[in-house]
Amino acid sequence: MSDGEHSILAPSDAERWARCVGALLMSKGVEEPDKEYSASGTCSHFILERSLKDQLNPDIFLGQTMEFNGFKFVIDQDRIERVRATMVNIYREPGQMWVEHLLNTSPVLDVPNQIGHADIIKVDPIGEVIIKEQSYIGVLSVHDFKDGYLRVMAQDNLQGLLYLASALYEWDLATDIQALRFCIHQPKIGHYDEWSYTRKEIEDFTVAIRPAAKLAYQLYYGIVKFDPAQHLSAGDTQCFWCPVRGRCPARAQRIVGLFADAITAHEIDDVRLAQLYVRLEEIEQACKDYRIEAHRRAMMGRPIAGQKLVRGNKGKRKWAEPGRAESAMALLVPDDKMYQPRELISPTQAEKNLREHYASVQPFVTQSEGGLVLVPVDDPRAAVELPKFNILPEELPQ
Ligand code: SF4
């Protein structure tokens, strides 16, 4: 297979290459920084795939050790429960099911040799969806299992749209499909989201995505000359998982730009503070990225002006030979000075260990109220009303 036959426009990476067409070229050959995180996701996907394909109870994987991309995972009850919750939701929807289905994305992107894997596809020719008060019969759904903490929404999700458009292309001759739905399952954070599109909306998406896909592909293979000023476009979404985010000039410019307004003002007013506040996570992540990048370069022997490598704090001391240490200590001190007292496990650990029996100890649990935290207005938690200051007339200064 020649280099030009590579599938590079992965649907799971679509938010990046479609919003920043130079990103794929910039990160060519650069290792994925969060390898363990994605290996853990692959592990959960494997259990889901096997359980659905072979109609297994996921419990059979409990306690097994699995290895993905060099990382080992012991399958615990939590992981099993996340897979089970996703399975229950998927089984609930009627229609024929395809698991871990290979989709040809080339006809949608108009770029050769591109593929993607959809976790689950369901096709229900008599299923009905109501979109903007209009009924559509013939539904194709793509279900995406995400075993991470970062909440992902289904509406306008480029990964989902690309799956739907490619699946529509594949099923179009076999079934009359009028509506398409993208469903996100994130049991780790108790999140499920779905969004339905009409066939026309998916067809419009296909037309809209092509220019970006084509340009990203041409830049990657040197068919079009790369111009950072023109082809890099930094943003919260596309830079978040980009492996070159710690060294990309466009991203650095964006982070600095976030303060541009603030530093020209006489004082940071409430509006500017709010604008900065919603960007804090991005700014904090950027700081972390620059630390990692500087450390990486220093470790390669590249000088980082004004910095040097030193040994950090030593690790926690532990017994190299606990048996011999115990015998030696027994000659020197009494038992109560040698052993740690037994301690009751925490309620969190008890819930994990006791499972359905946790209810019997729950009355003995106490928990303090959480402190007040500032979160985006669309956070599902109810807003806390602060007490109003009621000044009685007699308290007013005379
Ligand atoms: S860090 Fe952002 S701007 Fe830079 S290449 Fe990646 S996605 Fe594009």
Q: Are 70 and 100 in contact (CB under 8 A)?
A: no
Q: For residue 140, what are its two tokens? A: 């194709």
Each residue of 166-195: pLDDT tens digit?
999 999 988 999 999 999 999 999 999 999
Instruction: Determine the atom of ligand 1 nearest the C-alpha atom of 235.
Output: 2
* Residue 342 pLDDT: 85
Determine which helix (DSSP H) or strand (DSSP E) holds 144, and give its type and residue range. Answer: strand 134-145
Tens digits of residue pLDDT in 98-130: 999 999 999 999 999 999 999 999 999 999 999
Torsion angles phi and psi, residue 14, rounded to 5 = -60, -35
Measured CA to CA, the distance from residue 196 to residue 177 in angstroms comes to 12
Determine whether the shortest distance from the Cβ of 239 to ligand 1 is under 6 A: yes
The per-residue b/e assignment along 74-111, b for 16 or more CB within 10 angstroms, e otherwise, is: ebeeebbebbbbbbebbeebeeebbbbbebebbebbeb
Ligand 1 centroid, distance to 174 Cα (angstroms):
40
- Tell which atom from ligand 1 comes closest to the C-alpha of 16: 7
Q: What is the pTM of this model?
A: 0.81
- For residue 132, the SS3 value is coil
Is 26 close to ligand 1, i.e. is its CB under 6 Å away? yes
pLDDT band at residue 355 using 50, 70 and 90 as cut-offs = confident
How far apart are alpha carbons 17 and 191 in whole angstroms?
26
Of 14-28, 148-162, 369-383, which gets the smallest average pLDDT?
369-383
Token pair recorded at residue 325 = 């240490």
Give the strand pairing for 191-198 and 179-186: antiparallel
CB-based contact 208:166 (threshold 8 Å): no
How far is it, in rounded angstroms, from Cα 147 to Cα 43?
A: 10
How far apart are alpha carbons 159 and 12 in whole angstroms? 5
Q: pLDDT band for 4, please (50, 70, 90 cuts).
A: very low
DSSP string over 198-237: EHHHHHHHHHHHHHHHHHHHHHHTTSS---HHHH----HH
How far, in Å, from the CA of 66 to the mean position of ligand 1?
A: 33
Q: Residue 154 above 90 pLDDT?
A: yes
- Encode burial over 244-255: b for 16+ CB neighbours within 10 A, e otherwise: bbbbbebbbebb
CA of 259 to the centre of ligand 1 (A): 19
Q: Check if the beta carbon of residue 207 is closer than 8 Å to that of residue 103.
A: no
* Ligand 1: residue whose CA is nearest its atom 5: 23
- Closest-CA residue, ligand 1 atom 3, reads 234
> Could you tell me the distance, in angstroms and rounded to a whole number, from the CA of residue 99 to the centre of ligand 1?
32
Q: Is the CB of 248 under 6 A from ligand 1?
A: yes
Task: Judge if the beta carbon of residue 143 lies within 6 A of ligand 1.
Answer: no
- Measured CA to CA, the distance from residue 129 to residue 164 in angstroms comes to 15
Check if 216 has its Cβ closer than 6 Å to any atom of ligand 1: no
Pocket perturbation via mutation, ligand 1, pick of 13, 251, 293 by most ligand atoms within 8 A of CB: 251
Q: Is residue 2 over pLDDT 60?
A: no
Q: Report the DSSP beta bridge partners of residue 299.
A: none
Closest residue by CA, ligand 1 atom 2? 239
In angstroms, the CA 263 to CA 44 distance is 46
CB-based contact 254:239 (threshold 8 Å): yes
Distance 17 CA to ligand 1 centre (A): 9
- The CB of 25 under 6 Å from ligand 1? The reply is no
For the Cβ of 20 lying below 6 angstroms from any atom of ligand 1, the answer is yes
Note the helical H segments in the chain. 14-19, 23-26, 35-53, 77-92, 106-109, 158-171, 199-220, 228-231, 236-240, 249-257, 260-264, 270-277, 280-299, 322-330, 347-354
* pLDDT reported for residue 60: 96
Say how many Å lie between the CA of residue 279 and the centre of ligand 1. 17
Pocket test of ligand 1: the residue of 13, 220, 230, 239 to mutate, having most ligand atoms within 8 Å of its CB, is: 239
**pLDDT reported for residue 219:** 97
Beta-sheet pairing, 134-145 with 179-186:
parallel
Query: Does ligand 1 lie within 6 Å of residue 238's CB atom?
Result: yes
Question: What is the Cβ-side half-sphere exposure of residue 244, based on CA atoms within 13 angstroms?
Answer: 19
Residue 3's pLDDT band (boundaries 50, 70, 90)?
A: very low
CB 24 less than 6 A from any atom of ligand 1: no
